[in-house]
């Protein structure tokens, strides 16, 4: 039976017993004194919570200013602000949940609580003992699963809280009436004690402001133990919680002996019919414990909306329970997968942020571009799923913060160039005037020239060679000054049929751009170089040489303030190291036959595959108004993963008729 239900029954039963027996022997009314002392406050908490959410007042502990102490219930609370260092959702999170729980080794009188308020996530450790050494142990475990920042004492709801109203004093009128049944002992012994309890209650709690209040809690005694049911519910329940503006879940250890004793009592029972029914109920529980190495625990779910599968319903008592932790649900560790406690980690940093996408719950996924180990990116997707449109939408944002240089084989970025004021070079009709000089002194150009059998003795001979190559395609190059913050090298004049020529000019321009950027050193990102359709480089037959050059560029890019973004159709079109070192990787949706290489290389999970294969094309999504692309976004260095929708700027594409 739930704790507060027991309190109400005990209270009502005690009153009834005294009312019946006190007329025969009045001193028996003194039995009400321990009843009021033990359960009077609990009754008032339940009564007041029928009208407004409340929580106990907490103070800073004198020996640890970061510890919040609840003197009414002798509970100590320590708080950390956290961001998951991996992105796991539903069933995928179960291994991490078991690892976290086993490493925590929660003892009796200890609870761990995961709290989400808006975009901020917290973990609270609660204990009946003031033990700084134990707190350090807990923090060390949390550091393995979260990026942890120790917070100050959470002594009140954002430092505020409305004092309780005085109407509970009116409950004293009940004792005046009850004294006619219980005798004068009630009036002279119990009534003053009750007024003292009410006074302590009113001064020991506060009403909670809307911004941080929890209004729903689970009224279930236990949850279904069947593993198949759990796996069916896990993803759906996690989605419900992740969509809420506020939710929390606490958990505490429950001795395995409780389950063993229950099993023994059932097995040794006399009534065969009832015994078989109870054994049928216990069997799934025991199977999960033995087969999946789960542990019995108590779970305390708190929310701001109903969750029918968990019997979570509206009850203002939830806020007080968040801090008192009396009414838990009997469960196993695997049941924690029904809460997204490892989903949605943000990369943290005091820097420039860009919003790349929105996750499956409509929350922005923002990335601190100065805090990444590098800002190199890879965008993978087949034609028609919005690769170039997505990248152009991202670059429009980035253009406000950094310079952007695009090598564009298909002329897809002309509209972007118009919108951001980029300088467009029509290659090979227009070439940078210092292109021969930069290539002639570049150490990266040497192996390319050897592989392509380009014979040159200096800038002038190289200029002549470039003019000859342009003339073969019918162009007389005009060497112009390389200038502008945003630049597009448009190679579409050559035509897609001559992919070898496109690859030749793209290779030279890539070496030219990155060689110029390495002339200076800066830790701050100043330029993003985008190479659309990297497959063009393969047409020259010098893939090994180019891969070595690209690896050198990517390794050193951070030191020189630039990042390289590659747009490819398959994960196998780019060297494995370039994929592994990229801090931003986006895989766009499509059919399974186009995703199989990305699945293997990027180790995508079944839920990732399901999301990607259900993706709409941008033009399909535009039928509902705002066009968007769908994909899986991976952020490094941590294993952060989102299923995202990327809003696409309609200005970047002409409407399809």
Neighbours of 146 (CB within 10 A): 23
* Alpha-carbon span 33 to 189, nearest angstrom: 8
Write down the pLDDT at residue 484. Answer: 86
The sign of the dihedral angle between the CA atoms of 95, 97, 102, 103 is positive
Higher pLDDT, 119 or 80: 80
Segment 86-115 mean pLDDT:
94
Write down the pLDDT at residue 499. Answer: 77
CA distances from 301 to 45, 328, 368, 644 (A): 19, 8, 32, 27
Backbone φ, ψ for residue 221 (5° rounding): -80, -40
Give yes or no for residue 647 having a pLDDT over 90.
Answer: yes
Write down the pLDDT at residue 516. Answer: 83
534-538 long-range CB contacts below 8 Å, 24 or more apart?
534/566, 534/567, 534/568, 534/573, 534/574, 535/568, 535/569, 535/573, 536/409, 536/499, 536/502, 536/503, 536/506, 537/503, 537/506, 537/507, 538/503, 538/573
Closest CA to 111 of 323, 332, 312: 323
- Residue 514 tokens read as 């990155």
Write down the pLDDT at residue 542. Answer: 66
The sign of the dihedral angle between the CA atoms of 66, 150, 337, 216 is positive
Angle at 279 between CA 274 and CA 282, to 5 degrees: 130
Segment 649-653 mean pLDDT:
88
Q: Are 447 and 549 in contact (CB under 8 A)?
A: yes
- β-bridge mates for residue 447, sequence order: none
**pLDDT band of 349, cuts 50, 70, 90:** confident
pLDDT per position as a tens digit, 603-626: 888 889 999 999 999 988 888 788
Write down the pLDDT at residue 535. Answer: 63
* Alpha-carbon span 307 to 158, nearest angstrom: 26
**All residues at 6 or more sequence positions from 204 whose CB lies less than 8 Å from its CB, including other chains:** 41, 56, 57, 72
132-140 long-range CB contacts below 8 Å, 24 or more apart?
132/64, 135/67, 135/78, 138/78, 138/104, 138/112, 139/80
Closest CA to 72 of 196, 200, 194, 198: 200
pLDDT per position as a tens digit, 35-79: 999 999 999 999 999 999 999 999 999 999 899 999 999 999 999
* Alpha-carbon span 264 to 258, nearest angstrom: 10
Mean pLDDT: which of 314-318, 473-477, 545-549, 581-585 is highest?
314-318
**pLDDT band of 475, cuts 50, 70, 90:** confident
Helices 317-324 and 32-48 sit at what angle, rounded to 10 degrees? 120
Write down the pLDDT at residue 233. Answer: 92
Using a 10 angstrom Cβ sphere, with 0-12 exposed, 13-18 middle and 19 or more buried, the burial of residue 485 is middle
* Alpha-carbon span 237 to 607, nearest angstrom: 15
**pTM for the model:** 0.85
SS3 call for 641: strand
Write down the pLDDT at residue 261. Answer: 67
Write down the pLDDT at residue 287. Answer: 83
Q: Are 404 and 395 in contact (CB under 8 A)?
A: yes
pLDDT per position as a tens digit, 230-273: 999 999 999 999 999 999 999 999 987 777 666 666 655 555 55
Q: Are 51 and 211 in contact (CB under 8 A)?
A: no
Q: Are 73 and 629 in contact (CB under 8 A)?
A: no
| Proportion of the chain above pLDDT 70, given as a percent | 93
Looking at every residue in the chain, the average pLDDT score rounds to 87
Q: Are 545 and 448 in contact (CB under 8 A)?
A: yes
Write down the pLDDT at residue 52. Answer: 92
* Alpha-carbon span 301 to 318, nearest angstrom: 9
Closest CA to 78 of 87, 68, 70, 64: 68
| Proportion of the chain above pLDDT 90, given as a percent | 48
Q: Are 11 and 36 in contact (CB under 8 A)?
A: no
**pLDDT band of 286, cuts 50, 70, 90:** confident
Segment 344-366 mean pLDDT:
87
Write down the pLDDT at residue 500. Answer: 80
Count Cα neighbours of 368 within 13 Å in the Cβ-side half-sphere: 12
**pLDDT band of 300, cuts 50, 70, 90:** very high
Write down the pLDDT at residue 321. Answer: 95
CA distances from 535 to 263, 343, 532, 546, 566 (A): 63, 34, 9, 12, 10
Kindly state the helix (H) or strand (E) to which residue 529 belongs, with its residue range: strand 522-532
**pLDDT band of 116, cuts 50, 70, 90:** very high
Give yes or no for residue 597 having a pLDDT over 70.
Answer: yes
pLDDT per position as a tens digit, 17-44: 988 888 888 888 888 899 999 999 999 9
Give yes or no for residue 374 having a pLDDT over 60.
Answer: yes
Give yes or no for residue 284 having a pLDDT over 90.
Answer: no
Give yes or no for residue 478 having a pLDDT over 80.
Answer: yes
Q: Are 351 and 369 in contact (CB under 8 A)?
A: yes
pLDDT per position as a tens digit, 148-198: 999 998 887 655 678 999 999 999 999 888 888 877 888 888 899 999 999
Higher pLDDT, 275 or 568: 568
Write down the pLDDT at residue 123. Answer: 97
Write down the pLDDT at residue 267. Answer: 58
Q: What is the DSSP letter of 217?
A: E
* Alpha-carbon span 185 to 312, nearest angstrom: 42
* Alpha-carbon span 513 to 545, nearest angstrom: 17
**pLDDT band of 632, cuts 50, 70, 90:** very high
* Alpha-carbon span 515 to 532, nearest angstrom: 19
Q: Is the bond leading into 112 cis (omega within 30 degrees of zero)?
A: no
Segment 105-110 mean pLDDT:
94
């Amino acid at each position: 039976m739930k704790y507060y239900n027991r309190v109400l029954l005990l209270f009502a039963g005690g009153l009834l017993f005294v009312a019946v027996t006190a007329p025969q022997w009045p001193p028996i009314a003194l039995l009400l004194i321990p009843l009021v002392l033990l359960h009077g406050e609990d009754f008032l908490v339940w009564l007041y919570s029928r009208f407004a959410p409340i929580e106990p007042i907490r103070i800073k502990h004198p020996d640890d200013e970061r510890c919040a102490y609840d003197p009414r219930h002798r509970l100590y609370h320590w708080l950390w602000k956290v961001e998951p260092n991996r992105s796991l959702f539903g069933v995928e999170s179960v291994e991490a949940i078991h690892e976290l729980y086993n490493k925590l080794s929660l003892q009796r009188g200890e609870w761990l609580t995961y709290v989400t308020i808006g975009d901020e996530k917290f973990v609270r450790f609660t204990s009946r003992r003031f033990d700084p050494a134990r707190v350090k142990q807990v923090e060390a475990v949390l550091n393995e699963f979260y990026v942890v920042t120790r917070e100050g004492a959470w002594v009140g709801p954002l430092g505020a809280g409305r004092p309780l109203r005085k109407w509970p004093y009116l409950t004293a009128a009940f004792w005046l009436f009850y004294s006619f049944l219980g005798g004068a002992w009630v009036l002279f012994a119990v009534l003053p004690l009750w007024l003292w309890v009410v006074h302590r209650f009113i001064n020991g709690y506060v009403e909670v402001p809307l911004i941080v209040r929890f209004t729903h809690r689970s009224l279930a005694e236990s949850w279904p133990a069947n593993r198949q049911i759990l796996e069916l519910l896990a993803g759906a329940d996690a989605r419900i919680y992740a969509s809420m503006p506020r939710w929390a879940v606490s958990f505490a250890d429950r001795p395995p002996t409780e389950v063993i004793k229950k099993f023994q009592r059932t097995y040794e029972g006399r009534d065969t019919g009832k015994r078989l029914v109870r054994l049928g109920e216990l069997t799934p529980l025991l199977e999960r414990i033995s087969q999946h190495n789960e542990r019995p625990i108590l779970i305390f779910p708190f929310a701001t909306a109903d969750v029918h599968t968990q019997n979570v319903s509206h009850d203002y008592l939830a806020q007080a329970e968040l801090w008192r932790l009396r009414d838990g649900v009997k469960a196993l560790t695997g049941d924690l997968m029904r809460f997204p406690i490892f989903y949605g980690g943000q990369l943290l940093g005091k820097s420039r942020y860009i919003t790349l996408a929105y996750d499956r719950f409509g929350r922005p996924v923002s990335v601190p571009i100065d805090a990444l180990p590098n800002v190199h990116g890879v965008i993978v997707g087949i034609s028609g799923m919005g690769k170039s449109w997505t990248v152009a939408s991202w670059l429009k944002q980035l253009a406000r913060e950094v310079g952007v240089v695009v090598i564009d084989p298909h002329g897809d970025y002309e509209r972007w160039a118009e919108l951001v004021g980029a300088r467009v070079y029509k290659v090979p009709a227009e070439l940078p005037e210092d292109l021969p000089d930069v290539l002639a002194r570049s150490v990266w150009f040497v192996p390319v020239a050897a592989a392509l059998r380009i014979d040159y003795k200096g800038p002038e001979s190289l200029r002549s060679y470039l003019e000859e190559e342009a003339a073969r395609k019918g162009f007389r190059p005009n060497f112009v000054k390389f200038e502008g913050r945003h630049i597009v090298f448009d190679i579409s004049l050559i035509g897609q049929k001559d992919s070898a020529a496109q690859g030749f000019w793209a290779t030279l321009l890539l070496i030219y751009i990155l060689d110029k950027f390495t002339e200076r050193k800066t830790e701050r990102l100043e330029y993003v170089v985008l190479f659309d359709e990297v497959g063009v480089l393969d047409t020259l037959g010098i893939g090994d040489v180019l891969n070595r050059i690209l690896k050198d560029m990517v390794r050193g890019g951070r030191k020189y303030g630039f990042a390289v973004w590659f747009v490819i159709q398959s994960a196998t079109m780019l060297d494995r190291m370039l994929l592994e070192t990229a801090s931003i990787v986006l895989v766009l949706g499509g059919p399974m036959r186009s995703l199989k290489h990305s699945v293997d290389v990027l180790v995508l999970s079944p839920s990732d595959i399901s999301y990607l294969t259900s993706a709409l094309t941008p033009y399909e999504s535009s039928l509902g108004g705002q066009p968007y692309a769908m994909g899986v976004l991976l952020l490094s260095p941590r294993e952060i993963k989102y299923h995202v929708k990327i809003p696409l700027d309609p200005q970047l594409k002409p409407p399809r008729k």
